[in-house]
Amino acid sequence: MIDEAIIEARAGNGGKGMATFLREAMRPLGGPAGGSGGNGGSVTLVADPSLNTLLKFRYRRHFIAGNGGNGARNKRHGANGDDVEVTVPVGTEVWELPKRSSGSEVFLGDLVRPGQRIEVARGGRGGLGNAAFVSSVNREPLLAEAGEIGQTVNLRLNLKILADVGLVGMPNAGKSSLLTAISAARPKIADYPFTTLEPVLGIVEHGIDAFAAVDIPGLIEGASEGVGLGHEFLKHMQRTRLLVHVVDGSEGEPGERIRTINQELDAFDARLAKTPQMIAVNKLDIEEVELLQDEIEDQVCEAAGDDTPIYFISAATRRGIDDLVAAICYRLADMRREASDAEAAMLGPEYSNGADPLDDENLPVFRPRMSNTKDVVRSGENEFRILHDRAVRLAAGSNLDNFDALVQYHERLERMNVTEALRRAGAKEGDVILVGDWEFEWQ
Ligand SMILES: Nc1nc2c(ncn2[C@@H]2O[C@H](COP(=O)(O)OP(=O)(O)OP(=O)(O)O)[C@@H](O)[C@H]2O)c(=O)[nH]1
Ligand SMILES: [Mg+2]
């Protein structure tokens, strides 16, 4: 199963605003007529319940949204760039990789509900054309803005299966047999350890109730340190609400085996070890299991604790299976009732209440963080560079060699508080001010 992928999402740049004047034969005065640039397209991840793995990202890793079109004459806006939607399986965690090797990953969000979205890279806004700068004091604006650069992010997608119930236990205990008995899933079953090599999800229906269960490879002592198939599958247990701990009743020392598994869960994640459990002692159809039932129960109870319910089942003959499924449903219903509203929204009761999850207005929608840089830096002894985003874009879209344009630019710097920032940074008359490719003297 492919449950991790690295992708790049690149949003589109905003289009450039235009600085131009209407010069028609019949209208000698004309007027500023440069249109604004269109917005760059964004890249959004969408949770799609029809996907089960991140396999598709093996073949495609780059997702690039369209650039905004440039503004044009006659106040014509540039077209907006095309957005890109990338579908991912429900249960995908999204992490932004650091831009520098020294940085750390940033968690962007968790797509736990069908239809849930995360905008991971926002398109740049289009630059304003000079028509947009007309005001009562400036009827002939010469300025226009360059478009904003779209965000580019590298993401690590980590799929953690979302299931209500996780089946854990030693190899050969009968976890896959149990999943087969209770759902339409058909995992491989065989008489040797490590039959199951990757997680299998099944939907279990019980009357009008239903829940999702996930079967993972068997665990053995040292699994949390990589022994056997290791712990890499345990992450799929982290979001279950209930563990059904399957024990082979026909093997000796059931209590010891339960303790071993619980120690491995704890070594992997202490919270996982606190997930409520039910014990399913399997293979009740074998005669000695039935004969030793009381003894087994005592040992299991001692290892698992008094408040952990114990069920005797036979996945092979289905004996005890209905009782176990009913008990799981009751338990889950109790938990849903107990969970606070906020938690309930995250846990996703959509399997049971038939509500359309897309209708949920409380669905969290994640947005990318906006970078926040300084407005001004000192770049030399008598030299300062303007970093303020709008000021930089305004300079890039304009011709500051034109004296009138430069005067207007200074007025804008004042309004955007960049003048103040320059003063605070220590700029004095005669100092050199750099902005993008432009350079002028501070006055
Ligand atoms: N007699 C009997 N045998 C069973 C029962 N359930 C499972 N088995 C047998 O036990 C063996 C292991 O079953 P699986 O369901 O593959 O066990 P598992 O826990 O998924 O094993 P791994 O995937 O290797 O961890 C198979 O030979 C099954 O036929 C049962 O209720 N009674
Ligand atoms: Mg199995």
Residue 437 shares a structural domain with residue 303: no
Count of domains for the chain: 3
Atom from ligand 1 closest to the CA of residue 173: 19
| Listed residues 135, 159, 183: the one ending a domain | 159
Q: Residue 347: what pLDDT?
A: 52
| Listed residues 124, 159, 194: the one ending a domain | 159
Residue 330 Cβ < 6 Å to ligand 1 = no
The Å distance, Cα 191 to ligand 2 centre, comes to: 10
Q: Residue 294: what pLDDT?
A: 96
The answer for residues whose C-beta is within 8 angstroms of residue 260's C-beta and 6 or more apart is 170, 220, 221
Residue 109 shares a structural domain with residue 191: no
d(CA 422, CA 280): 71
Residue 155 shares a structural domain with residue 183: no
Cβ neighbours around 118 below 10 Å, total: 23
pLDDT digits (tens, 9 = 90+) for 348-368: 544 333 333 344 444 444 544
Q: Residue 322: what pLDDT?
A: 95
Atom from ligand 1 closest to the CA of residue 194: 24
3-state class percentages of the chain: helix first, strand second, coil last, to nearest 5: 25, 25, 50
d(CA 388, CA 434): 12
Q: Residue 356: what pLDDT?
A: 39
Residue 77 shares a structural domain with residue 144: yes
The Å distance, Cα 282 to ligand 1 centre, comes to: 9
d(CA 346, CA 365): 12
Ranked by mean pLDDT, the top range of 138-142, 249-253, 350-354 is: 249-253
**178: three-class secondary structure by DSSP:** helix
Task: Check pLDDT > 50 for residue 13.
Answer: yes
Query: Nearest to residue 110, comparing CAs of 399, 366, 373, 345?
Result: 366
Q: Which domain holds residue 190?
A: 165-353
Residue 228 shares a structural domain with residue 89: no
Task: Check pLDDT > 50 for residue 369.
Answer: no
**pLDDT, averaged across the chain:** 87
Rounded average pLDDT over 244-269: 94
Tokens 């209208």 locate to 27
Domain with residue 380: its CATH number is: 3.30.300.350
Query: Nearest to residue 51, comparing CAs of 84, 6, 90?
Result: 90
Q: Where are the beta strands (DSSP E) in 11-116?
A: 21-24, 27-32, 43-48, 62-64, 84-89, 92-96, 106-111
Is there a contact between 111 and 91 (Cβ–Cβ < 8 Å)?
A: yes
pLDDT digits (tens, 9 = 90+) for 371-424: 446 788 888 888 999 989 899 999 999 999 999 999 999 999 999 999 999 999
HSE-CB of 436 using CA atoms within 13 angstroms: 16
pLDDT band at 319 (very low <50, low <70, confident <90, very high): very high
pLDDT digits (tens, 9 = 90+) for 89-134: 989 999 999 988 888 899 999 998 889 999 999 999 999 999 999 8
